[in-house]
């Protein structure tokens, strides 16, 4: 079947299309309706059907593939490697589920997971899925304030964490940050379950903190049946950044997500049961949820969970993993490839990479140089794919297993089945033609697997994402907040965000969150944070600060910069730390007081600052230029 036919069926008759795809997973009770679209923009998929993500990822395979590797946990930080078969994975997940139940966790309860890339993090996610608890994984790179705001929003009954992570051989203690976060948060979890890796000392809080190893022993022979969930119950919440300082809890369902992942694993990722999938992301991001944990396991593949840097002990480490575990499909981000590109090329050539069939890259724009370099070095197709935390699986790419359409350099590809992608002229609200820049929007209903709502805030979901209607059908349209352009062949090109979200090394960050953190420094009067182009990381955060009391000596500025960086490290984590802090006397604003971030960003990148008819004081732009020069 051509991809065009496959795609058109998904658009013309979504119910028939997705009914067919739904056969890819196990249902305990069949659904009575494929799509309930009676309350747009809220879509319900596979209504009345009951299923379970843990069953489909683990239990389902134990009968036929019980001894096959399921989880390969590798840490070059602690020099450990352990493979769990599907049977062993099931045992561990059941033990973790039993611990959770003994701590009072039940269906619909939230469990916050703040963990390094260790096997227990995966057990915890799957254990939640098994008992119908809603997990919320918070990226281990976030610090106390970021963590506290997520604790307050999700209100978890249990937090699962560890003594520490490790990065580049340096121990990153988690427990202290977590204790601080719980102190800062209004909501207090009843229990904290802690994995002691022996990396950092931990002070256990009596009555609240529980040791994982000790409780695992208590539940070594536990039996915890799968809890069958209605397809539209929530499976997880994953916080992501937006325009305001308050992160959005993207909420996902059970059945739609399982079907979407199973379909994508076949159609897009050509995953075959028995193969090995190696996704280098982190479980704290959506790519980790979909393509480290759930997707590969649902497809009956072994999945590699890797803790460590791509260049330690040397830049051959990933390729040695590919050789050793016969990795068939690999998924990474452009920044990581740019890091590898700086390393001696022979390290790549040392290993037998014949098992590898394709490399998928996502999370940020893929530049042509990086794409061509890695494609030549590996000798396999490089498949760019564009999507978001909100979508859960690719929106634009090439579905190689449906039709091996050519990739175009610089383009992630064409709209995937189920996604009615359009480009909207921001000023007129009209749909754009070919080669005309517009906002990438998707006509509702969104396909299975996409976000259901913002956790606890349906209003915010509607008001944030669904502010436009299709001029063709009048239906609500979802905004991706990305600029895009489509060529004559229907290939899309992504041109950056339309909002105040920045993308640093594939990590999505809100400039508002960073600004709020910097504002808490006692000597900061006003601040603007923008994302500025960077050769290695795609973008970096740059801050412009108006101090309350200015010390214009070099030392004074350096001290303030260092202090601001420390504040951000402590509150958000080093992931949000600005690359540079500039001191200015004035910031460019409109007469109504709105920061002109796009103009600041343009100046930083040596571009024209754009339409300035509404600017309050044009001399502020000169101040930005002077600061950059000085």
Binding residues (CB under 6 A) for ligand AMP: these are 240, 286, 362-366, 384-386, 388-389, 412, 480, 482, 494, 497, 503, 508
Look up residue 283 and give its two tokens: 């479980």
Q: How far apart are CA 69 and CA 52, in angstroms?
A: 21
Pick 386 or 544: Cβ nearer ligand AMP: 386
Write out the H or E segment, with its range, that includes residue 380.
none
Q: Kindly give, in sequence order, each residue whose CB lies less than 8 Å from that of residue 319, ignoring residues fewer than 6 positions away.
A: 347, 348, 350, 351, 353
Shortest distance, position 400 Cβ to ligand AMP, whole Å: 15
Shortest distance, position 397 Cβ to ligand AMP, whole Å: 8
Please state whether beta strands 42-47 and 580-583 pair in parallel, antiparallel, or not at all (unpaired): unpaired
Pick 285 or 325: Cβ nearer ligand AMP: 285
- H helices present in 356-451, as ranges: 368-378
Q: How far apart are CA 43 and CA 265, in angstroms?
A: 23
Pick 14 or 538: Cβ nearer ligand AMP: 538
Pick 242 or 418: Cβ nearer ligand AMP: 242
| Coil, helix or strand at residue 477 | strand
Pick 75 or 503: Cβ nearer ligand AMP: 503
Pick 49 or 334: Cβ nearer ligand AMP: 334
Shortest distance, position 285 Cβ to ligand AMP, whole Å: 6
Q: Tell me which residue of 630, 544, 543 sits closest to 587, measured CA to CA.
A: 544
| Coil, helix or strand at residue 442 | strand
Q: How far apart are CA 62 and CA 89, in angstroms?
A: 9
* Residue 394 contacts residue 386 (beta carbons within 8 Å): yes
Pick 232 or 281: Cβ nearer ligand AMP: 281
Supply the angle between the helices 14-21 and 255-267 in degrees, to the nearest 10. 80
The three state secondary structure string of 43-67 is EEEEECCEECHHHHHHHHHHHHHCC
Q: How far apart are CA 286 and CA 97, in angstroms?
A: 22
Pick 162 or 407: Cβ nearer ligand AMP: 407
- Per-residue burial over 295-312, b = 16 or more CB atoms within 10 Å of its CB, e = otherwise: bbbbbbbbbbbbbbbbbe
Pick 325 or 455: Cβ nearer ligand AMP: 455
- Per-residue burial over 133-166, b = 16 or more CB atoms within 10 Å of its CB, e = otherwise: bbbbbbbbbbbbbbbbbbbebbbbbbbbbbbbbb
Shortest distance, position 388 Cβ to ligand AMP, whole Å: 4
Q: How far apart are CA 511 and CA 530, in angstroms?
A: 6
Q: Tell me which residue of 552, 576, 553, 554 sits closest to 564, measured CA to CA.
A: 576
Q: How far apart are CA 355 and CA 375, in angstroms?
A: 15
CA 287-237-202 angle, 5° bins:
85
């Amino acid at each position: 079947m051509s991809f065009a036919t496959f795609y058109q069926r998904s658009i013309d008759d979504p119910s028939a299309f997705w009914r067919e795809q739904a056969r890819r997973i196990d249902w305990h009770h069949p659904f009575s309706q494929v799509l309930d679209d009676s309350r747009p923009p809220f879509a319900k998929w596979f209504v009345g059907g009951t299923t379970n993500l843990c069953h489909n990822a683990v239990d389902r395979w134990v009968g036929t593939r019980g001894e096959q590797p399921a989880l390969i946990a590798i840490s070059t930080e602690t020099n450990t490697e352990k493979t769990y078969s599907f049977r062993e994975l099931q045992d561990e997940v059941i033990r973790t589920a039993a611990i959770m139940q003994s701590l009072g966790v039940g269906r619909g309860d939230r469990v916050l997971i703040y963990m390094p890339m260790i096997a227990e993090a995966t057990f915890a996610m799957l254990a939640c899925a098994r008992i119908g608890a809603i997990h919320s994984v918070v990226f281990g790179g976030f610090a106390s304030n970021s963590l506290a705001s997520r604790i307050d929003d999700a209100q978890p009954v249990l937090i699962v964490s560890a003594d520490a992570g490790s990065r580049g051989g340096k121990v990153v203690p988690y427990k202290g940050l977590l204790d601080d976060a719980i102190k800062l948060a209004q909501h207090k979890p009843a229990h904290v379950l802690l994995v002691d890796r022996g990396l950092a000392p931990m002070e256990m809080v009596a009555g609240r903190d529980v040791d994982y190893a000790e409780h695992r022993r208590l539940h070594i022979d536990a039996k915890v049946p799968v809890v069958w969930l209605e397809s539209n119950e929530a499976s997880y919440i994953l916080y992501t950044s937006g325009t305001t300082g308050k992160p959005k809890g993207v909420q996902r369902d059970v059945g739609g997500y399982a079907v979407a992942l199973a379909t994508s694993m076949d159609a897009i990722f050509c995953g075959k049961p028995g193969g090995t999938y190696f996704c280098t992301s982190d479980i704290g991001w959506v790519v980790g949820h979909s393509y480290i944990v759930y997707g590969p396991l649902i497809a009956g593949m072994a999945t590699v969970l890797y803790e460590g840097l791509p260049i330690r002990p040397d830049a051959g480490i990933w390729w040695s993993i590919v050789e050793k575990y016969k990795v068939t499909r690999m998924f990474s981000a452009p920044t990581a490839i740019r890091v590898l590109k700086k390393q001696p090329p022979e390290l790549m050539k040392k290993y037998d990479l014949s098992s590898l069939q394709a490399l998928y890259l996502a999370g940020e724009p893929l530049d042509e140089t990086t794409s061509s370099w890695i494609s030549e070095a590996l000798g396999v197709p490089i498949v760019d794919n564009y999507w978001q935390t909100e979508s859960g699986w690719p929106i634009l790419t090439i579905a190689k297993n449906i039709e091996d359409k050519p990739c175009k350099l610089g383009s992630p590809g064409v709209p995937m089945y189920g996604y009615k992608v359009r480009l909207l002229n921001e000023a007129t609200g009209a749909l754009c033609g070919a080669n005309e820049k517009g906002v990438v929007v998707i006509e509702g209903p969104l396909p299975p697997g996409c976000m259901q709502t913002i956790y606890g805030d349906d209003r915010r979901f509607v008001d944030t994402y669904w502010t436009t209607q299709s001029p063709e059908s009048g239906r609500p349209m979802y905004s991706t907040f990305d600029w895009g352009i489509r060529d004559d062949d229907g290939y899309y090109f992504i041109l950056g965000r339309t909002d105040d979200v920045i993308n640093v090394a594939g990590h999505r960050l809100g400039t508002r969150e960073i600004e709020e953190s910097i504002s808490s420094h006692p000597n900061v009067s006003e601040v603007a944070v923008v994302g500025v182009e960077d050769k290695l990381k795609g973008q970096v955060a740059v801050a412009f600060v108006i101090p309350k009391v200015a010390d214009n000596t070099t030392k004074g500025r350096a001290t303030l910069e260092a202090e601001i960086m420390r504040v951000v490290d402590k509150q958000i984590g080093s992931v949000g730390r600005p690359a540079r802090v500039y001191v200015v006397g004035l910031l460019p604003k409109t007469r109504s007081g709105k920061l002109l971030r796009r103009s600041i960003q343009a100046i930083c990148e040596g571009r024209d600052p754009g339409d300035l008819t509404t600017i309050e004081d044009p001399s502020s732009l000169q101040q930005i230029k002077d600061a950059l020069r000085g």
